[in-house]
Amino acid sequence: MEDKIDILQVGTNQMELVDFRMFEEREDGSIYEGIYGINIAKVKEIIKYPTVIKIPSKESLLEGVYNLRGEVIPIVSLAKWLNIKEPKDVKTKKVIIALFNNITVGFIVHDAKRIRRISWRFVKPPSEVLKNQYGNKIVGTINLDEEHVMLILDFESICEELGIFSEEDVKRIEQAAVDVSKDKRKVKILIADDSSTARKIIKKAVAPLAENIIETTDGQEAWDMLNKLYENTNGNIKDAVDIIITDVEMPNMDGYRLTKLIKEDERFKSIPVVMNTSLSGSANLQKAKDVGVDDFCTKFIADEFTRAVAKNIK
């Protein structure tokens, strides 16, 4: 898990993370340094904490907005979202400018340290202790060494709390799926996504099109399920799965690696794979094409999603 300078190859089940820190003032006055990660594919740039136009609301996660070269960007307090008591004077504050779900958002962090390259197989789902502490805010953990653990946040969950996508967005996706389903047969769908928020929305979205929905929480589980279904159907995999909808960022095995395995396997390569991800932009689209994906759409844009799914229902 050391830093690398060579180019990251798509489909190798690796990713690069920005290692950032959040400081928490404990009841005894001590300062705890939490280690967090965000996929560099979501990061546009990292800037020093700027002069922010404040939004007068104590309850809001938004610290304010910032005009970055003509683009007005919402600035989110991660400390508020994580319920962290910030030390009074953090001199190393920075803002990670991130692009995902086709929106640009700034996240206030207390320090940004380095870029780490790791394999998704080292990313594990959060323990019950972390689930109790953070709820659904953490989607993965990485043991950096015997004493330090990095936490990966569920940015879909942040978007939901901010209202970036809401129940109205889900209804639009559902209605679009209903409209499309009038001319389509019912299909068997395999979903791979580690975010419970995302799986809930996807299931609602595809319900009008679905004969059966199989849920998996990461690429490895999806790959194991495909192999199990192949055996159970005596090689007639189309009796069990008509289409696969996968996220990119998942513990154990990412969506790029899953897609690459599917498309290189004679048993499965004819099954359409739709990549449904918060990673947006042409670079991520090209990565998806490089591993043979059949379609690519951005969470949770109704017309993109339904177009991609409907197009690949044969």
Architecture of domain 167-311: 3-Layer(aba) Sandwich (3.40)
Mean pLDDT, rounded, for 5-19 = 75
Q: What is the mean pLDDT of residues 94-111?
A: 90
The boundaries of every CATH 2.40.50.180 domain in the chain are 14-162
- Look at residue 171 and tell me whether its pLDDT is greater than 50: yes
Task: Let me know: does 287 contact 40? Beta carbons within 8 Å.
Answer: no
Interval 120-144 mean pLDDT: 86
Q: Which residue has the tokens 């994580």?
A: 82
pLDDT at 281 over 70: no
* Residue that wins the pLDDT comparison between 28 and 284: 28
Alpha carbon distance 262, 141 (integer Å): 26
- Please state which of the four CATH numbers 3.20.20.140, 3.40.640.10, 3.40.50.410, 2.40.50.180 is assigned to the domain occupying 14-162: 2.40.50.180
Dist CA 235 CA 155 (whole Å): 38
Position 25 scores a pLDDT of: 95
pLDDT range class, residue 8, cuts 50, 70, 90: low
* Arithmetic mean of pLDDT over the chain: 86
The arithmetic mean of pLDDT across residues 283-295, rounded, is 88
CATH 3.40.50.2300 maps onto the chain at: 167-311
Cβ proximity of 304 and 297 under 8 Å: yes
User: Quick check: 144 pLDDT over 70?
Assistant: yes
Question: What was the pLDDT predicted at 267?
Answer: 97
Write down the pLDDT at residue 154: 79
Q: Which long-range CB contacts under 8 A does 235-242 form with residues at least 24 apart?
A: 235/267, 237/267, 237/268, 237/271, 238/270, 238/271, 240/188, 240/214, 241/188, 241/189, 241/190, 241/214, 241/271, 242/187, 242/188, 242/189, 242/271, 242/272, 242/313, 242/314
Q: What is the pLDDT of residue 165?
A: 58
**Most confident stretch, 7-21, 25-39, 46-60, 199-213:** 25-39
Residue 57 pLDDT greater than 80, yes or no: no
